């Protein structure tokens, strides 16, 4: 029987089933996670991109034990809004964190215009991603 444990010492393979489920639930938005003691995973487009991943927003969410909304100035998601929540144990201590690209942050018009190409490349995997109106016109 497979068993996965999420704890302060979880390794990437322990986090993978939960992170992949979030990735699928969120229409394949990029998802990252790590435990308190070890780097974790980064998933994009249904594929594990990194099994030793950490990022500044994940680390901050663990350190502060609170939700973090940020636009990292470094790392894989530099310039792209992210939201990260701590994973807590039964006593409320942060034992890890899980994060996604923050679609609500993307809708800040100034940020969207400034970082449009980066966001499209990160979310769609290509540049440019067809706009909804273009997709509708293509079906006609």
Residue 133, SS3?
helix
Q: Encode pLDDT of 50-60 as tens digits.
A: 999 999 999 99
Q: Where are the alpha helices (DSSP H) in 11-131?
A: 12-25, 56-64, 103-106, 109-124
CA distance linking residue 25 with residue 86, whole number of Å: 18
CA distance linking residue 52 with residue 12, whole number of Å: 7
Backbone φ, ψ for residue 95 (5° rounding): -115, -5
Residue ranges and CATH numbers for the domains of the chain are 12-103 (3.30.450.40)
pTM score: 0.75
Q: Encode pLDDT of 66-86 as tens digits.
A: 999 999 998 889 889 999 999
Print pLDDT tens along the chain (140 aa). 678 889 999 999 999 999 999 999 999 999 999 999 999 999 999 999 999 999 999 999 999 999 999 999 988 898 899 999 999 999 999 999 999 998 776 565 565 566 666 766 776 766 555 555 554 555 55
């Amino acid at each position: 029987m497979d068993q996965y444990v999420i704890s302060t010492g979880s390794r990437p393979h322990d986090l993978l089933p939960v992170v992949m489920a979030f990735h699928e639930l969120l229409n394949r938005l990029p998802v990252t996670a790590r435990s308190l003691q070890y780097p974790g995973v980064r998933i994009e487009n249904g594929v594990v991109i990194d099994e030793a991943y950490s990022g500044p927003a994940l680390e901050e969410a663990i350190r502060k034990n609170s939700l973090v909304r940020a636009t990292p100035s470094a790392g894989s998601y530099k310039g792209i809004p992210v939201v990260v929540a701590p994973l807590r144990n039964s006593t409320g201590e942060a034992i890890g964190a899980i994060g996604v690209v923050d679609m609500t942050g993307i809708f800040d018009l100034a940020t969207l215009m400034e970082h449009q190409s980066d966001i499209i490349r990160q979310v769609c995997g290509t540049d440019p991603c067809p706009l909804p109106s273009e997709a509708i016109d293509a079906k006609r």
